[in-house]
Chain A
Amino acid sequence: MADLIIETRGVSKIFGGLTAVNQVDLEISRGSIYAIIGPNGAGKTTLFNCISGFYTPEHGEILFQDNPIQGFTTDFIAGQGISRTYQNIRLFANLTAIENIMVGQHSNLETAWWDAIISSPRYRRENERSRKVALHWLDFVGLNGFGDYLACNLPYGMQRRLELARALASDPALILLDEPTAGMNPQESEEMMAFIRLIREKLEKSIILIEHDMRVVMGISDKISVLDYGTKIAEGSPKEIQANERVIEAYLGPGGAALAKKYQDRRRKKQNA
């Protein structure tokens, strides 16, 4: 058996009569970049929310490093080593960038409130360390010099990176990225891609990402899963997914595969001519 960081077994999430996620099995190996794609409303973010504990799935199991985590609270799961970013950035807007990262370290720190009041040596040591770690991550995402800005005053691209820094600050084993390049121009998404690779290679983290930008998805992921109406319809390497008829149909509608083929042929002919 491969070394799996996270595994979902038959996970289903039902809202009223709507099955948002339907019997999804995923096996994500340690140190990989795994992408989940699919049309709008396919249940990608719902699956993320199941993993990070915002929702409890009705059926199925989620195993993080071979331990079941479904049904636990979000903060417990975060403490286990899963952190995430959000589709629409959710920073702590009126805290400074550094403070955002310091909050991100919360589950790695252990001094309690009375330590702060009596300012015990333990507390002072930890506070100092936490500040240094925050500065390190600030530097890592290239935001040095902006540490004392309120998060809401940073430009969009920086907010994305800050959110990533906050997610990294707890030193998680697995990071969930929900549309990390949404709203970015091609150059910015290029930078973000390089950055995600860096996280995997330098920090040896496992990454799951949801993404609509196919250039990003095909460029960085080791493996891709496609969701449509809550069901996993395909899984495989970028090459395999590009050629998969069901995937093309999910994106372009019935008959889409033929259509896609037609346009591909036409383009090939043009290139040949």
Chain B
Amino acid sequence: MESFAIGTALVQDGVTTGAVYALLGMATVLLFVVTRVIFLPQGEWVVFGGLTLAMLQDGKVPATIWLLAGLSVVATLLEGAAALRDREPQQLGRIALTCLGIPLALVALTVWAAHAGLPLVVQGLVATALVTAMGPLLYRIVYRPLVDASVLVLMIVSVGVHFVLNGLALLFFGVDGFRTLPFWDVQLSLGNVSLSGQSIVVVVATALLIAALWLLFERTLYGKALWASASNALGARLVGISVPFSGSVSFGIAAFLGALCGILIAPVVTLYYDSGLLIGLKGFVAAIFGGLASYPLTLAGAMLLGIFESGVSYAASAFKEAIVFLSVIPVLLWLSMRGGAHDAEE
């Protein structure tokens, strides 16, 4: 095999992983920009998405429904108590629908889907929907009460959320690893280069999602409002943009992106209950390359990271992880200096 073929194989492998990191990186950036939360557990959505799909493929009801149900009940109680305290009983109807009705409907759908023998793509969508619904509920329960906390406190809270979700993943899925069936099980040959169908699916899906996100933020009023509430919460509130709503939506989008990553990589990577941390951190690294602010840079950074990882695992497999994480530090340093040393007094 000549070095060209090796090179292209490595690049292909790198681009596929890079696409996944890009999705995760963007979810991370979105959350940070809109809610100032550094969401370390982003990788857990990946695991929940992928393993839920694996359960569905096995014809079993995924235990993830219990988490969704639990979050739904707690959120409903919190919202209901708040509505009663503010003497707004008319809100209870809306609350019942959004916090209780939709999640429980998804739970019912999942239970039915487990035994219905649906095609792969539909199963993937069900798994994604189930996990996406957990995002806004998590925001409501954990992060909304802390909306004025500092970035550091929010980060430490995210550590707590990571522990909880990780432990629950063990409880729901056990210690076994899982792989799902590929969405497109072919091996295409273009001359010397061999492409797997699954890789193509991953890259195409990522490209579509990135385009959709770009459209959302650049072209829709709603997307711009989301951005606005990130830069200035008070100003956003004054012009009628609801900050909690922005928070819910961004958590929803982040969970959606995470779950989607999960179902995309589940055919090629054996997912365990604790795979989430490392995947999430790599997505984080991509987000940092993008300065925790810019989507195009995050995409570029993710691709670079994916290819870099492939190359390093080929050349010096033992030191791969150490090198990847060390490379983050100069970037962080540059970012910190460029962002201006904003003192603690801010």
Question: Are A and B bound to each other?
Answer: no
